[in-house]
Amino acid sequence: MGGFYLEEMQKSGKWDIAYICDSNEGVRALAKELSPTSIVTGNEDDIFNDPEVKVVGLFTLADLRKIQIDKAVRTGKHIIAEKPIADSIEKEWDAVHAAEKSKGLSTVNLYLRNSWYHNLIKKFIASGEIGDLAIIRICHLTPGLAPGEGHEYEGPSFHDCGMHYVDITRWYAGCEFKTWNAQAVRMWDYKDPWWLQAHGTFENGVVFDITQGHVYGQLAKDQSHNSYVDIIGTKGVCHMTHDFKTAYVELRGVNETHIIEEPFGGKNIDILCDLFADSINAGKLHPQLPTLRDSAIASEYAWLFLENSRKNDLPAIGDHETLEQIWERRRTMSEGYGLLNKHAQACSGICS
């Protein structure tokens, strides 16, 4: 993720990348190549202790985030954080409270909120074209990161990746979750579920279902995915799907129909960085940008749905041998879903 931020910040012209920090030698060598004018270091305190640095981007894994958020608050930096903002819900709430007391601004990369398609659909709902919002259906199934491949601090797939969908569902509903029921499966006999479907209600009566899993044809010769959103109102409907290159949106209201195809936009890091730079100049967080509180809420509900799934049978299907085949295939994959960090891998091989 650090590499994506570097690329977008370099393109935007609004950022001066003073430092890049990574504990991995291979990643530091790459950073020096990609950003020769930055100071590349293995010691994060070089950055926190420099009074010239206005903003820190916290993109390591979740176990370090809370410590780094505390350092950023103590040294008066603005914060761009990856999600989740810590590796336990208690620490996430502590991070929220620390950031909310700070004079600095902070945001989290809940990237769906910065997508053109979700903002367009939300505007269409607000125009009254689909009547009253009633049902939110979200599905995201890819081969993706397999169990045990890293991101262990981020939790099982429904937490690591699924919290984005929990967040965007809450964003559409515009209020808090009220009830939920979750079914999951422990694929390949892994200790945690790798597919989960949750459904339930919001305080305002809107109902939802979320399906997420990195289980979609891991060993298929030609891999694919299934990702969509259905927003159903009392009168009309919105539908979105994508192939990671193009997003397809159908807005079917009582007076208007729009069928739109536009570039997907990936993780929308360009938009996040632009809006955050503008926020700093304005002294106020742009309303589109999610807060640390939004991230803690999404994380907390993703954990609650996982906890609920453990009470609902939670069967195990498949065996460890199949998981080993998946790991083996993904180790050498250069095209596909949720690819592994080759630079860090290469160096841990050399260093260990």
SS3 assignment, position 277: helix
Q: CA 25 to CA 350: how far, in whole Å?
A: 10
Site residues for ligand NAD, 128-157, by CB under 6 A, read 150-151, 154
Rank residues 21 and 136 by Cβ distance to ligand NAD and give the closer one.
21
For residues 115 and 158, is the Cβ–Cβ distance under 8 A? no
59 binds ligand NAD (CB under 6 A): yes
Site residues for ligand NAD, 265-284, by CB under 6 A, read 267
DSSP strands (E only) in 35-144: 39-41, 55-58, 78-81, 106-108, 133-141
| Least distance in angstroms from the C-beta of 224 to ligand NAD | 20
Integer-rounded Cα radius of gyration of the chain: 21
| Least distance in angstroms from the C-beta of 325 to ligand NAD | 23
Phi, psi of 140 (to 5 degrees): -140, 100
Q: CA 65 to CA 86: how far, in whole Å?
A: 5
60 binds ligand NAD (CB under 6 A): yes
Contacts of 60 (CB under 8 A, 6+ apart): 23, 68, 82
299 binds ligand NAD (CB under 6 A): no
Q: Give per-residue burial for 100-132: e unless 16+ CB within 10 Å, then b.
A: eebebbbbbbbbbbbbbbbebbbebbeeebbee
| Least distance in angstroms from the C-beta of 271 to ligand NAD | 13
Rank residues 23 and 322 by Cβ distance to ligand NAD and give the closer one.
23
What the block records as the tokens of 24 is: 């991995």
Rank residues 125 and 302 by Cβ distance to ligand NAD and give the closer one.
302
Phi, psi of 125 (to 5 degrees): -60, -45
Rank residues 183 and 295 by Cβ distance to ligand NAD and give the closer one.
295
Rank residues 291 and 341 by Cβ distance to ligand NAD and give the closer one.
341
109 binds ligand NAD (CB under 6 A): yes
Site residues for ligand NAD, 179-198, by CB under 6 A, read none
| Least distance in angstroms from the C-beta of 58 to ligand NAD | 9
Site residues for ligand NAD, 15-54, by CB under 6 A, read 21-24, 27, 44
163 binds ligand NAD (CB under 6 A): no
The H or E element spanning position 210 is strand 207-213
Total number of residues that touch ligand NAD (CB under 6 A): 23
Residues near ligand NAD, by CB under 6 A: 1, 21-24, 27, 44, 59-62, 64, 82-83, 109, 111, 150-151, 154, 160, 267, 341, 344
